[in-house]
Structures are given as C-alpha cells and as structure tokens.
Amino acid sequence: MTSTLFPFQTEALDKLRSFCKKAKRDYKDDGEHTIITLAAPTGAGKTIIMSGLMEKILRGDENNAKEENSIFVWLSDDPELNEQSMHKVEHETMYELPLGSLEIIKEDSFDKEVLEDGKIYFLNIQKLSKSSNLTKSKDGREHTIWETLQNTVEQKGERLYFMIDEAHRGTQKTDANTANSIMQKFIFGSPNDKLDKMPIVIGMSATIDRFSELIKGTNSTTRSCIIKAEDVKDSGLLKDEINISYPGDNDIQRGMAILKYATHEWKEKCQHWEAYCQKEHEPTVYPVLVIQVENGHGDKISETDLNECLKAVEEELGRELYEGEVAHSFGEPKTELTINGLKVPYVEPSRIDESKKVRIVFFKESLTTGWDCPRAETIMSFRTANDYTYIAQLMGRMVRTPLHRRIEGDESLNNVHLFLPNYNSENVQKVIDALSSNDGEGIPTKIKKNAVGASEEQELHVAEDKKDVFEWLNSIQLTTYVISKYRVSNYLTSLFNLAYLAANTQGVDPEAAIRVSSQIATMIRSYIEKLQTEGIYNNKVEEIKKFVLTESKMEFLKDGKLQSSSELVLELTDYDIEREFARADAKLKNAGKRYTRDYFDKADMIDLMIDVILFTQSEECMAELDKYAKATFYQYKHEYRKVLSKYSENVKSKYDKCTREGEEVSDHSWMLPSTIYLPKGEETIEGHLFVDDEGKASFSLNTWEQQIIKDAKKDDDFVCWLRNQDRKSWSLCITYEMGGKAHPFYPDFVIVRKDKNGSYLLDLVEPHWKDEDNVPKAKAMAKYVEDEDGNVERFEMTRVYDNKMLRLDFANPIISHRLADATKYNDDFLDDLFKEYG
C-alpha cells in the first residue's frame, strides 16, 4: 500500500479480509453465495480500503497465505469513474502487484474464454447494455462478456470477487427476486444471459441502505462492514465545515454581485494557502473556484451569461485572467470555447485536480460523479432551487482535504464555501437535508447556512502587537490531550510507524527504525541460542519441516465407512518454507529480513528463515516482543514529542497520528494556529490574543466570565487573554477520570501576564458551579500543574458565593495537597476549600 491507513480503515480492512476468507471457504465447501456490504461515508477512502483488500488477498499478510490466482472484477456505473478507480488502485498497489495486473475491459478488444488469474478487471455497466459489442456474438467475437463471466464462475468461482462501486444505484426492486437492472444481474443471476449470480459480491457505497434492502430477499449469506461517520471526520480526511451562503430573499437578481463576493472569498483562500504552504514548506495548494451555470437551450450553451461571469471575476481580482487559468467541463461541447475574449479549453472532470494551472472551472452537471477535487474550495452555483440534489452531489466531491489531513495552523483552510444566489433559507435547508440523508451523500461534515455577508463565526488572526505572545505560547509546548476511540491492537506497528517518522525526519534519529529491527533480530538470535543450549533446537526444526500426510481408503458400497488408513511423513519444500517465512516476517514488520541479513554467516538462508518461523510460533517470545514494543513505543513517544513539534505541521500531524493510534489518551504539544474561528458575540472585549481585520473580537460571556476578564485586566501585569473554545481542533484539552473512563475538558480562559523581569506567565481559569465532576476535574487540574513543571503559573477554578467571586488556585501546593483528602464526587469538600482559601 502506498497510503498509510487510519485506524478505522485498518479495522475495516481486517474485517473485510476475514469476511472474504469465510466467503471463499463457504462457496468452496457448500456452494454458498455471500454478499458483503461496505458502508463507507464520503471521504472514508473506500477505494484505498478495497485496494488494501485486493493486495492482502493476492500477496498475503501475517495471518493469511497469498492467493495469487484470485480474480477481481470492479463494476462502476460511469466510464470516467471506472477509469479514475483504476488509477487510484494502481497508485495504491504499484509496489506490490506485477505490471499488467490491472485491466479495463474494452469493447473493441476484450474477448476471453475465462478471466485470468491474478488480475483486477474494471468494467462499467454501459458496456453491458444490449447495444454493446461485449454482449454480442458477432464481428469475429468468440465469447460474449456474459459467457466469459459464466465460464469463470464455473471454473474459478471460489476465487472470483465481484465488487460493485456506488452499490446504491440501480437498486429498484421487483416483486420477485429477479434482476431489474444490469447491476442486479450479478446479485440474482440472469437466465436471459445464461449467467449465474456471482459467488462473492462486495457492494460499497456511502449510502448503502438501498443496496442492503435489495439483498434481503436473496438466499445468499450477508455480512456488513460499517465505517462510522464520526471516525472519518475525526481523521482529518474531510474539511471541518461546509458554509452555505444565500441572499436574504431571492426576489431580486443578484447573481453577479454574489459571484464577485465569492471571488473575493476565493482570492483570500488562495492567499491563505500560499502563506501556509510557504511557511510549512509544503507543495503549494492552488484552490479552485467552481462556477456551476444553468443548462442552455437550442444553440445557447448556457442561460447564464458566461461573458458576464468572467467579467465579474476579473473586476474583483483587479486583473485580467490569463490563458489556461480558466477551463470548462461541459458535457457538450467538449471543445475550446471563447468566453469574454479568453480561450477556455475543455478539461475532463477527473483531470481537474492534477491540472494545477487551472484555477477556475465552469460546469453544469458533469462534476457530480467521477470527480474528486480537494482543491475545489469555493463554489458559485447559478442553478435554481429545483436542482438541490445536483448541488448536494457536487458538495460530496468537494469536502476532501487537499493535504489529506486537517490544517492545524490556519482554521480557514478547513472549510469549503458554497454560494447559492437563487436559493432562500427554505431551499438551502433542502440542500442540507440532501447532504445529510441516508439516501444522499451522507457527508459527516458540519454544515452551516448564512445570508451572504453574514456569519455566526468571526475569523480572527493574531493581533499585531501580540505576535511575540503567540510565539511564546507555542514555544513552551504545553501538553494537550486527545482521547482516541481506538486502542492499539499491535504496539509493534505503532512503534515502527514512530521509528520510521523519526528516521525520515532530518536531524531527529536516523537510526531509529534500524535500531528497532536490530533489537528484534537480537531477540530472535537469543531465542535460537537458548534452544540450541537446551538441546531441543533440532527437534523444533523437525517439527517445522516435517508433517504427516494421512491416506485413507474407502471401498465402494461398504456402508460408506473407512476401511483402512496409513500415514506418510513428508518434508516441506524450500518454496513452502519461504511462504511461511513471508507470513512470519509480516508479523515482525520485516524484522525477520533484518535477522537473515545480520546473521547470514551463522547458517544458510533456509535455516535462518526457519529461525524466524520458530520465534513467531512461540507464544512466550511474541509476548516478550509485545512487551518490548510497548515499552519502546512510550520511550520514543516521550523522547520525540517536543523535538518533532518544532518541525513542519506535516511532521507534527504524522507524529500525532502515530501516537493517537498507540493509546486511548495521548499527549501532544499545544500549538495555536495563526487563524482561528470563534462564535460572534454581542460585545467587543479588548485584549484578546486573536482579532479580526479591524483589531476587534466580540464575545457573549455570562456574568461570571465577564468578571474573570475584568479582574484579569485590573492586574498591572496583564498582557492578553484567549477564549479556549471547547472542542476546536486547536483547543487546549485536559483529561479527568470519572466512572472509570477518561473525559476531556477545556479550561475556559488562558490569561497571559508579565513578571517583574518582563517574562511571560500563563494562567488557566475554569469557572465552575456545583457538579458531580468538580472533584475529578480539580484533581486533574492539580496534576496538570505538577506535570507542566512551571509552565503554568496559576490554574484556578472559580465560583460565586453571595455575589462575590472566589478562586481556588491548584498551583498552590497547600490546596493541591488538601485535594488528596477529597472523596470521589464530594463537592461539599470543595465548598469548604473555597471558603477557606478562595
């Protein structure tokens, strides 16, 4: 695999591999058919997961031998989507599968009796229509596609996997369990085409409900794999928000004015991406402005005035657009157009993302399928309110993140903006419903709607006179925590991921991965020498190399009982040993190969391979290996956290991913982005670290919160404050334990002061009324101050008694010591502390 999988992808892949193994066994033993469903929300990476599945089956893994003669057919409902899927699979498997393993079935050249072993075929339903050459026995064709598939089912059915992409399409059901679409022929069979139903079918979709309903009536075994939408969202593979803007009323034509506003937003997005990529030394991301226009009538390409569109864009940009910067993806004509005096070439939808020169794209409906363009960050649609399903489909193609991760350094780069001049609030809600529904795109991204120019949130950047405070806060690297939904299942995998990151990041630890592999090789050698010392090594080798083959005889018409049997002792061939070594080495993450290199002078290669097999078959050795991997993982995590946080955001993101996979609660360095979004408030409050373009920031604070900020500003040493909004990707998060589980909480305020020497001091403040979680939070606050070792000057919990605000500072050792006497949820104890020390 080219991509590194997220935990939810690995979990889905392992489950699918297990399902396929059972399906193959059931068909081979009993002729039982199986239908597997993969429900993968938009952005889950279903093509990556399926690429991993095919690679695992063909090449084997630590738990399964390779099945090189397996055959896969990938069915799509669109030719361009079909080709795009093949390119993605090819990219993911290019280092593991031989050249020529992937093939698009073409009408003019494909003619085979059976499908070839070890091949992945791509087919779209248009090629299966009655008018297609593939379905006709003429013009020299020896086999129709139906005959090829049927022959393959009959001769190789137990190793044929039929994959249906976008499986929710073509699911209209008839009363009987008969095929009502081309796709359904593979589910139910097709007597007219002399085609049996496929032995193993995998249906995948973001909205699998209709497909699941379709297969209920079949007599096939069904198994389902469901990826949760929140897991996809948490991964950072999708943008955090979709912002939808529309006019307050749509009685007046305002299309071009809103297009100019959209262009302004897009221009700012371009500037943000350029600044971010330069700072982080990333390849520049060039955002795309997508302009969806109306259909035309007669000779008219579109009812939308294309010339006026480009004129409006150029006016807002303050410059003329250059040739190649604008393209169109109209279904017709697929030729170059001249718009407002500019030559505008046709670009296939699937090629837009890779065409970095293209910055503005005109289209009508062609981008709703077969198109992924993470660069598309702003869309202006001139469509009417009746086209809300097209709008929803389009947004489903635009929510993926350009760098395949959340951008921590600039929150403005984690959203996509949609402008709808011909919609009102009611019709915008239809778009939102279509985006969120089970039958729609199933997008797990937060969706906001606002009138054009209005927003519930304010975009804030670091105040000019506070930039040194911002740099200082990031330099001290306070600890922030992430609670993961996944617990590590293999510490060795997490350890190697972390070690490779350190080795591949210049100046960190170039020998990290080699050192881990060598230490495991040493463990293998120690085990082998122990067996040799005990005099049982040769016996262990014999157990590996030799096996018993039982031969039984059964005479015909003798009550069907065995009459006699005999046993033969056979020895594994070198080929068998090499295959078993490959499985053992996979368990050791290639440390087995390190062993054969480090100790090549101790024995011949086959014997060294047997050593590795013996090690992995020892439960005691594998338990020791897991203990080593766990201890070393935590050691490296501690050593690398502050070192790697000084590198680019890409490196920090990889570190965070590695460590989140390693434990339920993981610690990370708190790093503020240069741009954040906070809810707009009713009152402008001075002194905030982040401000808007006018140097202001507004908040809606309750009376307690207002008092905290007023009191902070009264101090002569006050510098600034920060609203630590809960559950933002950048928020400072602390954990406390309650009911045997870890829970997150976000201190409301960060206060920065200066001491007499001019050095900055940091305070955290948490206003909190009586609640059962107060004592656990208080203990967590005291522990946090201790762990931060001087980085936090004060950590206060506040309460109001008789209109007077009292404070408990858990950085005070007297108070933190008294907390040890507090029972689990005894808030009365805190009351006494407030009255005594507050």
With the C-alpha atoms ordered 23, 28, 30, 32, is the resulting torsion angle positive or negative?
Answer: positive
Interval 726-746: pLDDT, tens: 888 899 999 998 888 889 999
Mean pLDDT of the chain: 86
Q: How far apart are CA 202 and CA 219, in angstroms?
A: 15
Segment 758-787 mean pLDDT? 89
Mean pLDDT of 223-250: 83
Q: Residue 453: its pLDDT value, please?
A: 61
Q: What are phi and psi of 312, to 5 degrees?
A: -65, -40
Residue type at position 96? E
Mean pLDDT of 454-473: 90
For the segment 184-208, what is each residue's pLDDT rounded down to a tens digit? 899 989 999 999 999 999 999 877 7
Tell me: pLDDT of 660 over 70.
yes
C-alpha 310/C-alpha 330 separation (Å) is: 16
pLDDT at 552: 54
What would the mean pLDDT of 541-551 be, rounded to a whole number? 72
Residues whose CB falls within 8 Å of the CB of residue 611, separated by 6 or more in sequence, listed in order: 524, 525, 528, 595, 599, 603
Note the pLDDT of residue 647: 85
DSSP state of 276: H
pLDDT at 174: 53
Q: With cut-offs at 50, 70 and 90, classify the pLDDT of residue 279.
A: confident
Chain-centroid distance, C-alpha 423: 32
- Nearest alpha carbon to residue 258 among 289, 285, 233: 289
CA-CA distance, 372 to 796, in Å (whole number)?
48
Over 90: is that where the pLDDT of 103 sits?
yes
Average the pLDDT over 214-220 and give the result: 83
Residue of higher predicted confidence among 694 and 240:
694
Per-residue HEC secondary structure of 593-658 comes to: HHHHHHCCCCCCHHHHHHHHHHHHHCHHHHHHHHHHHHHHHHHHHHHHHHHHCCCCHHHHHHHHHH
- How many CB atoms within 10 Å of residue 175? 7
Is residue 562 very low, low, confident or very high in pLDDT (cuts 50, 70, 90)? very low
pTM, whole model, 2 decimals? 0.74
Judged by DSSP in three states, 480 sits in strand
Local confidence band at 252 (pLDDT 50, 70, 90 cut-offs): low
Q: How far is CA 96 from the centre of its chain?
A: 22
8 A C-beta contact, residue 337 and residue 356: no
Checking if the pLDDT of 250 tops 60, the result is no
d(CA 416, CA 61): 39
Q: Is the pLDDT of residue 557 over 50?
A: no
Q: How far is CA 102 from CA 97, 127, 158, 615, 660, in A?
A: 9, 18, 20, 37, 35
**For the chain, how big is the Rg over CA atoms in Å?**
32
Dihedral sign of CA atoms 168, 169, 172, 177 in order: negative
**Once rounded to an integer, what is the mean pLDDT over residues 533-540?**
93
- Cα-Cα-Cα-Cα dihedral of 400, 404, 407, 408, to 10°? 130
The string of pLDDT tens digits covering residues 612-643 is 999 999 999 999 999 999 999 989 988 998 88
Residue 454 has pLDDT above 70, yes or no: no
- Our measurement of the distance from residue 806's CA atom to the centroid of its chain's CA atoms, rounded to an integer in Å, reads 45
**Per-residue pLDDT band at 556 (split at 50, 70, 90):** very low
Q: Are 201 and 36 in contact (CB under 8 A)?
A: yes
**Residue 553 predicted with pLDDT over 60:** no
Rounded to whole angstroms, how far apart are CA atoms 69 and 47? 21
Half-sphere CA count of 829, side-chain side, radius 13 A: 18
Distances (CA, A) of 671 to 279, 281, 282, 644, 654: 15, 18, 18, 12, 15
Tens of pLDDT, residue by residue over 32-54, are 999 999 998 888 889 999 999 99
pLDDT at 440 over 50: no
The confidence band for 221, taking pLDDT boundaries of 50, 70 and 90, is very high
Any residues with CB less than 8 A from the CB of 818 and at least 6 apart, and which?
833
